[in-house]
């Protein structure tokens, strides 16, 4: 019953002028090359940050493994 009401509400909201205007504006932004360029430029630092974070995490893991390996060799001797 709750799912049916949610579907009905979604259908009604989808038919409102406000939602239709939102859809048109969203489509216009997707088609605007200048907007897409700005979005791509804004995304670039975030992707660099994510890759830097991943490299940093990998380095920490390698250092940890390296330390563990050295300790293990020391204990064997």
- Please state the domain extents for the chain: 16-76
28, 35 contact by CB (below 8 A): no
What value does the mean pLDDT take over residues 29-50? 82
pLDDT > 70: percent of the chain: 65
Q: Please enumerate in sequence order all residues whose Cβ is within 8 A of that of 36, keeping only pairs 6 or more positions apart, or say none.
A: 30
49-52: long-range contacts at Cβ-Cβ below 8 A with a sequence spacing of 24 or more?
none
**pTM score, whole prediction:** 0.47
């Amino acid at each position: 019953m709750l799912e049916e009401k949610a579907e009905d509400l979604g259908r009604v909201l989808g038919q409102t002028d406000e939602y239709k205007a939102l859809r048109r504006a969203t489509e216009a932004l997707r088609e605007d090359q200048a907007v897409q360029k700005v979005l791509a430029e804004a995304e670039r630092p975030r992707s660099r940050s994510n890759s830097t974070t991943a490299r940093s995490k990998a380095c920490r893991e390698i250092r940890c493994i390296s330390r563990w390996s050295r300790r293990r060799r020391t204990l064997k001797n």
